[in-house]
């Protein structure tokens, strides 16, 4: 009976060692799979971050270009309005000088001649 118990104990120890070895291999495989998945995720995250950074740079460049165009339009329109204002004042002054009327009459006269109503 003692021999049977010892044989069974030895067999149990051998099975335990076998299971332990299998468990160690399984853990190593899982560890490897987890590390591979983490590496893949890191690579994907880097790629997405790089793409987002490039997209943001392109967007910023487009916005800067649009702002540059808007500033140029603003300056051009401001100069055009200033030129028109100076031309209008010169015509009003000229009309007033020729007719002897005040600015209000000259403005009305100018607007009537150019097809616009003063009211």
Q: How confident is the model at residue 30 (pLDDT cuts 50, 70, 90)?
A: very high
| Calpha distance 83→77 (Å, rounded) | 10
**Amino acid 104: pLDDT:** 60
CA distances from 11 to 3, 6, 14, 78 (A): 12, 8, 5, 98
Domain residue limits, the chain: 2-113
Q: Hey, CA dihedral for 9, 13, 16, 22, is it positive or negative?
A: negative
95 contacts 106 by C-beta, under 8 angstroms: yes
Hey, how many other C-beta atoms are within 10 angstroms of the C-beta on 92?
A: 19
Give the model confidence (pLDDT) of 38-58 as tens digits: 999 999 999 999 999 999 999
């Amino acid at each position: 009976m003692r021999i049977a118990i010892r044989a069974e104990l030895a067999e149990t120890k051998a099975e335990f060692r076998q299971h332990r070895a299998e468990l160690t291999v399984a853990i190593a495989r899982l560890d490897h799979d987890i590390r591979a998945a983490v590496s893949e995720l890191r690579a994907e995250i880097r790629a997405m971050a790089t793409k987002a950074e490039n997209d943001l740079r392109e967007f910023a460049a487009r916005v800067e270009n649009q702002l540059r165009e808007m500033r140029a339009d603003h300056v051009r329109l401001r100069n055009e309005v200033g030129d028109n204002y100076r031309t209008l004042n010169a015509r009003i002054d000229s009309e007033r000088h020729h007719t002897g009327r005040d600015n209000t009459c000259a403005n009305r006269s100018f607007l009537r001649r150019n097809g616009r109503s003063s009211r």
